Chain A
Amino acid sequence: MSGVDQWALIGVAQTTLLALAVGGCLTNRRPVLIVPLYALAGLACLITLIAALGALLTAAPDAASRLVLPVGLPDIRSHLRLDGLSALLLVIVNTGGVAACVFGIGYDAHAAQPARVLAPFPLFLAGMNLVPLADDAFTFLVGWELMSLASWLLVLADHEHADNRRAGLVYLSMAAFGALALLMAFGALAGASGSYTFDAMRAATPSPRIAALAALALVLGAGSKAGLAPLHVWLPLAHPAAPSHVSALMSGAMTKVALYALMRGLLELTGTPQWWWGGILAVIGGLTAALGALQSLTQNDTKTLLAYSTIENIGVITAALGLAIAFKASGQRLEAGLALTAALFHALNHALFKPLLFLGAGAVLHGTGTRALDRLGGLIHRLRWTTPLVLIGCLAIAAVPPLNGFASEWLVFQSVLDATSLAHWEMKFATPVVGALLALAAALAAASFVRFFGIAFLGRPRDAAAADASEVAPSMLAAMAGLATLCLAFGALPGVPLDPLMRVAATMVDATGAMDRLLLGQGEGRTAWLAVAPHGDVTAVYAGLIAALGLAALTGLTVGLVSLASGSRPRRGPAWDCGFPDPRPQTQYTAASMAQPLRRIFGSVALAARDRVDMPAAGDTRPATFTSTLRDPAWRYVFDPLTGLVGRAADRLNALQFLAIRVYLSLMFAALIGLLAIVAIVR
């Protein structure tokens, strides 16, 4: 496909999205428009997806197609660029976009004010598509802010709840902070010449101090959007507050767009990276992953649980990205390529299974009307189609082979093992710690999703809402089924997505031509996609298809043997009374009780988790109560002191608002004289 065709397709699709936002405003009065609007938005995403796939699969690895639009600031205009990394991001965003649109058809049909979702929703998609395409700082920031503001409106779609309004406020402040940090980063990179195109930034060689400052600002700006600790506090508030298909996009696609900014910025725009940037990023990633997984384990709200799990996965990807930067700075290109491939693959996989799980949580919410785990249970009997799809998502995110989550996390750990070859002793000490944190996070995440699936879908209903749950619309199931199929396919055949990802990563770390070794036997006439071998030999090989077939064979054998031994038909009879003395569903494990051991072991220190039992004295008739509290360390150590400081400073500065005109004049005059005196003295 030629470059012109791709731009034409993308242009038509994005213009359609912008036009749909206008149509979305009308849906309050004309609900009949909802279905065609979602269908058209889905079609626009599909067209962009096809164009991006074409660019990703057919283009030469370092070929980039450019386009300069005559809109934007005078003399600057809008520079667009489509290369491997942008194409990958478009694939990630629009895969989620198609699924969310298909899901939205069924989900939004009965909403009270559909325009609150449908007006910003196409803008959100367009913003996320514009950011990866942008090739100058202005276009980038316009796309970034479009994405932020549209998603902020979507967070506030259900603004009647005070929690959602608070989430919107926290999100907006964090988004403003992030955009400001990015602005600073681009300002530092543009330098005195003020050339804001990325091409000029790539060509420039900033001084180490400026580059480090820009890198710091990039990590703050993009990291706050991605959800890196301690800037993650808005994410578990905002992601669940939006409608489920928007949550799916925010977690699946928007965090990836933020990571894209990090990759583009740190690997390309800031000149040659320093090894310690990567080290710091890897440690932040490890801490984020562990904190996210631990928090995810303790949540009672299904969507908050998933949002914390997003933080965990962002941590994993960031750790791999940090390793890639450290490797690149040390000149170990092959290892850098592997680490970046792992980061990209996990980003792609997370963009498949996290939307799947959010859509699943949306289906549960749609079917039962509740997000509280403690009110669910036994949904496997009511949601017969949703359950297996959610189970696939849970297995994938828990990194169970042969699903895609395992393949990418396995690659990340291979990179961590590679890091022993880094020369700096700090990295030699830090990487095993990062590896341990990632391993802890993986284990906690697995526990978290056992708990999620077990409490919500297994056992008996804890509440009438769960007992009367109804299966969701076919379009919603179709969206989930599509994502689940991709999870299975990428798990069984990881070589298929890895091949283009490897080429993208190789371009980013200048390892083109040396990166063939990732797929076992490539270039020697053997089947490349069958097995993944990061070291090029048989020291570490993962063959997803063989694992899948083997596991399927073993499962089939076990099921066959069990059914052979137990007779053909399941029977239902009375439960054995000594094992089942109390039929009330309250006697089951609850969400809180299942998390309690891990919450006590890890949470009492990391999350300040406290359990308090208030037991009335004998003869007292008041009920006994159990309260469990925990507080995110980011709030405790960063944001609570910060908001306190701002509040106190504002109280003090308030006096400045009530001075006499003459005092204001004096202050201005004194400031002017002071500055002039500094100029006179310093020069």
Chain B
Amino acid sequence: MTDLAFDVAHLLGALVLTLSFALLYQRRLTTAINVVAMQAATLAAAAAWQAVTRDSPHLFATAAIALIFKAAAVPLLLHWLIRRLNISGTVEPVFGVTLTMGLGVGITGLAILLVLPITAGETLLLREDLAFALAVTLIGPLLMIARRNAVIQVVGFMSMENGLILAAVGVKGMPLVVEASVAFSVMIATFIFGVFFFHIRERFDSLDVSRLEEMQGERHG
């Protein structure tokens, strides 16, 4: 592998991770959606670059799926939902931004600590790619629990899935069907979340998921 190929792949992987951090401090809903779309686009670029350098054309399909669905279709859908529900604005994080970012840095450190010793003997690109991917995958759920807003939870879910795909494109021989099925499941999940938005909005006039706790029925003990 040439130095250029390595550098570009490394750059793109790091960019995906950086965008995850951008999501963590983002308070505006529309910007968060844009950031996750950018993350998906970067992921598509990473996949395409792997397809070129490794000469494995099926990764172009992965890149296309990421670009069409996750960088375009789902964000557009979410923007439409926000307009439709008229909920654009800012979302207050549960923890302070500093704490959230600190947790993100800790998770990234943990991911590197975990992945690098396991993958000793593999190529440097694969090892760092996997560490980035694990960090992105773990920051997704962190985002989901650090915000009360349901739209941000979808964004966190998509970001988590981006991390999975990033791991998949870094590993040789991962069949396309895995990526296709993951992408499909994200589509389904987005639709379910969409229906769910309408319902909680209709009932509570808010997308704050903490309102749902009132629906848990009678408490015991």
Contact = CB atoms under 8 A, between A and B. Distances in A.
A617 interface: no
Given A654-B221, A658-B216, A660-B213, A673 B107 contact: yes
B56 interface: no
A676 B109 CA distance: 12
Contact of B113 (A658, A665, A672, A680): A680
A669 B141 contact: yes
Given A651-B221, A654-B220, A660 B110 contact: no
A111 interface: no
Nearest to A683: B117
Contacts of B117: 683
Contacts of A564: none
Given A662-B148, A665-B144, A676 B221 contact: no
Interface residues of B, number: 20
Contact of A679 (B107, B114, B148, B210): B114
Contacts, number: 44
B142 interface: yes
A673 B114 contact: no
Interface string A638-671: 0000000000000110110110111001101100
Nearest to B113: A680
Contact of A677 (B110, B148, B213): B110
B87 interface: no
A662 B145 contact: yes
B212 interface: yes
Nearest to A665: B145
B219 interface: yes
Contact of A658 (B110, B114, B144, B219): B219
A661 B156 CA distance: 14
A658 B219 CA distance: 7
Interface in A83-140: none
B210 A669 contact: no
Chain B interface, DSSP helix/strand/loop, else mixed: helix
Contacts of B212: 660-661
A679 B110 CA distance: 10
A662 B113 CA distance: 27
Given A651-B221, A673-B107, A673-B110, A662 B141 contact: no
Nearest to B220: A654
B221 A666 contact: no
A672 B138 CA distance: 9
B114 A662 contact: no
Nearest to A664: B145
B187 interface: no
A679 B111 CA distance: 11
B114 A680 contact: yes
Interface residue range, chain A: 20 to 34
Interface in A353-390: none
A669 B145 contact: yes
Nearest to A650: B221
A480 to B, nearest CB: 54
B209 A660 contact: yes
B158 to A, nearest CB: 15
A339 B29 CA distance: 79
A655 B145 CA distance: 20
Contacts of B142: 669
A555 B145 CA distance: 88
Nearest to B210: A660
A668 B138 CA distance: 12
A680 B148 contact: no
A666 B148 CA distance: 12
Contacts of A676: 110, 114, 138
Interface in B46-97: 94
Interface string B188-221: 0000000000000000000001101100100111
A660 B216 CA distance: 9
A665 B94 CA distance: 14
Nearest to B150: A661
A305 B111 CA distance: 64
Contact of A662 (B138, B210, B216, B219): B210
Contacts of B94: 662
Contacts of A660: 209-210, 212-213
A657 B217 CA distance: 11
A656 to B, nearest CB: 11
B161 to A, nearest CB: 15
A676 B134 CA distance: 11
Nearest to A666: B145
A347 to B, nearest CB: 48
Contacts of A679: 114
Nearest to A670: B145
Interface string A195-218: 000000000000000000000000
B49 to A, nearest CB: 29
Contacts of A655: 221
Contacts of B209: 660-662
Contacts of B141: 665, 668-669, 672
A670 to B, nearest CB: 9
A315 to B, nearest CB: 42
A660 B211 CA distance: 9
Contacts of A683: 117
B145 A673 contact: no
A662 B149 CA distance: 10
Contacts of B138: 672-673, 676
Given A660-B213, A669-B141, A669-B145, A680 B220 contact: no
A655 B148 CA distance: 21
A652 B141 CA distance: 27
A675 to B, nearest CB: 11
Nearest to B112: A680
Contacts of B110: 673, 676-677, 680
Of the candidates A655, A661, A676, A679, the one having the most CB atoms from chain B within 10 angstroms of its own CB is A661
B42 to A, nearest CB: 24
A269 B170 CA distance: 47
Interface string A453-482: 000000000000000000000000000000
B56 to A, nearest CB: 30
The 7 closest A-B pairs by CB, nearest first: A654-B221, A680-B113, A666-B145, A660-B213, A669-B141, A665-B145, A651-B221
Interface of B: 94, 107, 110, 113-114, 117, 138, 141-142, 144-145, 148, 209-210, 212-213, 216, 219-221
5 contacts: A657-B220, A660-B209, A662-B144, A662-B148, A665-B145
Given A662-B144, A662-B209, A665-B144, 18 more contacts: A654-B220, A654-B221, A658-B213, A658-B216, A658-B219, A660-B210, A662-B94, A662-B145, A662-B148, A662-B210, A665-B141, A665-B145, A668-B141, A669-B142, A669-B145, A673-B107, A680-B113, A683-B117
